């Protein structure tokens, strides 16, 4: 009986919270605060080791996470864009190893030029 109770509690603890925002396949567990960034999409590195970043008007470089959104933004390289994004509290992804402005998850964007 005790084993059954422990098993049920483990299964229910691994369930997804309906209030937790999800971006692509990635769940953002922290309190969500959106920010607005105006800047340009930049591709860093050399093939096959490239990653996408955003350079804001003030020169701050942000890493983009998750990889699915990073891939979507590659086609917008060089455009001046306004992003609505979530600032992540910890570095995630390959680009965050190099760009120290922080890691963001863009939620939406609008081309300005």
Residue 25 tokens read as: 């396949």
Answer whether residue 18 shows pLDDT above 50.
no
Distance CA 113, CA 107 (A): 19
Answer whether residue 5 shows pLDDT above 50.
no
Where along the chain do its domains lie? 30-111
Answer whether residue 20 shows pLDDT above 60.
no
Task: Evaluate whether 80 touches 103 at the Cβ level (below 8 Å).
Answer: no
Assign 24 a pLDDT band (cuts: 50, 70, 90). very low
pLDDT score recorded for residue 42: 95
The pLDDT tens digits for 39-93 are 999 999 988 889 999 999 999 999 999 999 999 999 999 899 999 999 998 888 8
Q: Is 12 helix (H, G, I), strand (E, B) or coil?
A: helix
pLDDT score recorded for residue 29: 52
Q: Which CATH superfamily is domain 30-111 in?
A: NigD-like N-terminal OB domain (2.40.50.500)
């Amino acid at each position: 009986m005790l084993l059954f109770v422990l098993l049920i509690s483990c299964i229910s603890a691994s369930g997804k919270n309906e209030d937790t925002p999800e971006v692509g396949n990635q769940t953002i567990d922290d309190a969500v605060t959106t920010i607005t960034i105006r800047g340009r999409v930049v591709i860093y590195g050399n093939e096959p080791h490239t990653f996408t970043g955003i350079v804001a008007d003030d020169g701050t470089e942000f890493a983009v996470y998750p990889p699915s959104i990073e891939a979507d933004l590659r086609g917008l390289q060089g455009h001046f864009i306004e992003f609505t994004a979530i600032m992540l509290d910890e570095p995630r992804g390959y680009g965050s190893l190099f760009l120290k402005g922080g890691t963001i998850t863009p939620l939406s964007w609008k081309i300005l030029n």
